[in-house]
Each structure stands twice: as structure tokens, then as C-alpha cells.
Structure 1
């Protein structure tokens, strides 16, 4: 029962099992539970396109809810939101979906550094696409590509539950993704967020 619960329902199991006991009644530290990270937004939030907003954006290079289009470091079309103090991760995710775009991801560490240099600056935090964990490591939810280990600030060792990714204000540490639990999602805000247009990884390799 112990192993089945840990394997088949790790999140629930982690909430139930708090302490382990021996027959002598001595209380030991909590059992360490490794809960796989999942694609929370991708699995639980509809990514809905808004044709009116898309037509407006691709025609005028702007949107009625603010923000503008620009050509990114990779030559693709990007969206930069308007400046505000209240952009949550969920809002950024849904806004990118409305434009048929996505929160940014990269397939190599070199690409990540170029992206970081182009959007992070010295005074802003930024959101990135979701990842999930499997026995081989951390992977992007959008294209199943494996993250380069040098991208992570803590190797995500503190995030055994659902979490989202961002880079910290001021670039400390430089060129590193950081995780934050979804329970803090509505308490975490960024001044800007960015969306990238989608390119099929198989097409990009041709």
C-alpha cells in the first residue's frame, strides 16, 4: 500500500504521510517525498485563441489590451506586454494563448542566454514556459525538449510540486531559471511578460 500510494498518487500521498513511526513510539523526521513536477497550466487551463485579437495584432503589430510586436533575437515575431505591476503567471499564459503565442522556451543554453540578454535587463523579472520532470530530467511541456542543466538555479531540487518558472530581477544568479510554487502564483507579479510565436521543432531543424 505504501509503495502503491507513493507511485500512483504522489501528491496525495505526500499530503497524508507526514511522519513515520517505529514500534517504540519514537517520531522520526518527515518522509522525503519526490513528487514529479507536472504541466499544470497545460493540463488544467484551456489555451484559447482569440481570432479578433490575433487579427488586430498581426495587422497593427499591437493589441487593444496593450503591448506591441517586435522581432526577437531569433528572427521570430514576439509580443511584449504593456508595463504594469500586476501581471500574474496565469494572465501571461492566457494572453499568449489568445494571440496563438506561447511563453518563451529555449532548447540550448546558448539560446537561453541570448533570450535572457534580450528581455531580462537589470530591473525586471520574467516568466517562461512550463516544464515537467521525469527520470531523465526536466523537460519543456510544449515540445518535450530536455532543459540544459546549466539553465537551472537550484536544479529545481526545492520544487517537488507544481511550480512555474521565472528569472529573477537583476539577474542574480545570471542566466538561471528559478522555480516558484503555484500556491504563490497570484502573489507574484512582473512588470512585463513576453510571448513568442510558435515554430515546430521538426520544421526548425529542416
Structure 2
């Protein structure tokens, strides 16, 4: 166990390296997050990767693991990696690759925006409720006064409402994406040429 903890701490090297690589690559171009769907999704995923790595590092420590082990906290970590990191980066890749495959641009920047905010807010809310619920459940399990398991499970009952809201946001975002994707496959989009952006380049200077 001690060796695995030490290995997790060594992961600090890759966390710092990947984060520095992202920041230096985006240096002077952070305004493109305001314009480009591909960059916005990918940037969100990169941030989620860094956050998930840091959380995983702390969760590997004995003092933390004894609280969060066998709780929803681990599901929260998994969702942070699988959805907030991997899926968001893949969505960004799809928004870049598909127009080049079908020969037309995405039909609506508003639909892309709805997809992003549904996925971003829904994914974040889901992860936060799982992490907090795991901490609350773990603390209750480690409390010797709690002898009834059902009582322990009820400690995070209110967070279930937040989780339902998260899945609703994710559902809306994914339905919009699915419809938009289908329209692209049917070549119902803008003629090839200028990419579909959230806002024209340079518009952020007005805000």
C-alpha cells in the first residue's frame, strides 16, 4: 500500500508537465476558448484531467482513503476522468473532424453551445454531488455512533436531487448533440468554408 501511495505522489510530475504543456501551448490564444467549440471542449477536458489527477493523488493517502473508500467518492473520480476529461475531449475532436469528413460545417453554433453548457454543468454537478456525497457517507461510516447502515446512507439523500438535475442537464445536452450530429450526417449544415464558431474572432474585445 505504501508503494502505491508513493507511485501516486510521483504522478505529480505528469500533472505538472501536462498542465504546463497546456498553458504554454495556449499562451496568447486563451481568447479562442470564447470562439472555437473544439478548443472550448478540449480546454474543459484538460482542466478536468488536472483536477482529477490532483483529487486522485489526495484520495490515495491513507488518511483520506480510510474515509472515502467504498463510497460514491470513487464514482465521482471515475466520472471526472471518463466524462469530464475523456468525453469532452472526444466531443471537441468530433466538432473538428466531422465537418472535414462530410464537407459542410455545423448547422448552428447555438446547438453547440447548448451541448457544451449541458455537458459542462451537468458533468460538473454530477461529479460534485458524488464527491461530496462520498465524503459525507464516509464520515458517517467512520462515526461509531452510527450503528444503522440505512441512517448512514440517508446522510447524502439531498444530494440525490442534485444528481437527478445533473443527469437531466446531461440528457438535454446529449439530445441536442445527437440531433446536430444526425443533421451533419445528412449534410444539412452550412456550406464548407468558414468554421461554425460561438462568436466571430475579435468579438471578445467588445465585452
Alignment TM class, shorter chain as reference: under 0.3
- Structure (1 or 2) with the greater strand fraction: 1
Q: If each structure's helix is expressed as a fraction of its own residues, which one has the higher value?
A: 2
TM-score (norm 2): 0.24
Greater RCO, 1 or 2 (C-alpha within 8 Å, sep 6+): 2
TM-score w.r.t. length of structure 1 = 0.24
